[in-house]
């Protein structure tokens, strides 16, 4: 649930029965409800899942993902009418891990790319800004956004030629 002024937006997420019958295809549906009082009306529906969301200074923002499509940023000034913008193109080379939305409406993303992990900030109308890259590392979920900025945790590992994952201390932690 997100609130801005007297307006409230509730985003629900449910798995479709077809997804239960076919586990290879994880299908979910997001429904958005908005209103000013005790009764809310459904205003939108998407076949994605919610990766992040927040009430922002400009209204509301939701990040939606789907295995087979691009990551999208939905924004609304009133919770009733929503616009969508492609935040991140779907790519086999890049795996998004986690997202967060700050009060200004900027989206912060952690992801895996090229054997390392990166942190990228997306602001509507601006080019994405890669803020950090960790070679041979995996940024863990646990991203937090606040007035002071952004915080996260990282596990750094090395992938050997034989496909083993080793910690910074050289301990075997798995295989790739």
55 token code pair: 């009430």
Q: What is the DSSP string of 57-88?
A: TTEEEEEEEETTEEEEEEEESSSSS-EEEEEE
- Dump pLDDT digits (tens) for 122-175: 887 888 898 888 776 555 567 788 877 778 776 666 677 887 777 666 677 666
In degrees rounded to 5, what are phi and psi of residue 141?
-60, 155
**Domain stops at, among 90, 116, 136:** 90
Same domain? For 25 and 61 the reply is yes
Does residue 85 belong to any structural domain of this protein? yes
User: Are 149 and 175 within one domain?
Assistant: yes
The answer to whether residues 32 and 84 belong to one domain is yes
Mean pLDDT for all residues in the chain: 77
pTM (2 decimals)? Answer: 0.74
């Amino acid at each position: 649930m997100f609130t801005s002024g007297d307006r409230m937006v509730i985003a629900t997420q449910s798995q479709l029965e077809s997804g239960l019958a076919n586990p290879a295809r994880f299908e979910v549906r997001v429904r958005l409800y908005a209103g000013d009082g005790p009764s809310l009306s459904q205003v939108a529906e998407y076949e994605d899942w919610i990766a992040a969301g927040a009430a922002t200074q400009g209204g509301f923002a939701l990040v939606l993902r789907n295995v087979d499509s691009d990551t999208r940023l939905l924004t609304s000034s009133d919770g009733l009418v929503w616009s969508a913008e492609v935040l991140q193109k779907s790519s086999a080379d890049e795996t998004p891990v986690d997202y967060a939305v700050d009060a200004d409406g900027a989206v912060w993303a952690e992801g895996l790319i090229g054997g390392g992990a990166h942190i990228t900030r997306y602001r509507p109308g601006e080019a994405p800004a890669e803020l950090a890259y960790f070679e041979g590392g995996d940024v863990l979920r646990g991203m937090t956004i606040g007035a002071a900025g952004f915080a996260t945790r990282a596990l750094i590992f090395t992938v050997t030629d034989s496909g083993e994952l080793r910690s910074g201390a050289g301990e075997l932690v798995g295989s790739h």
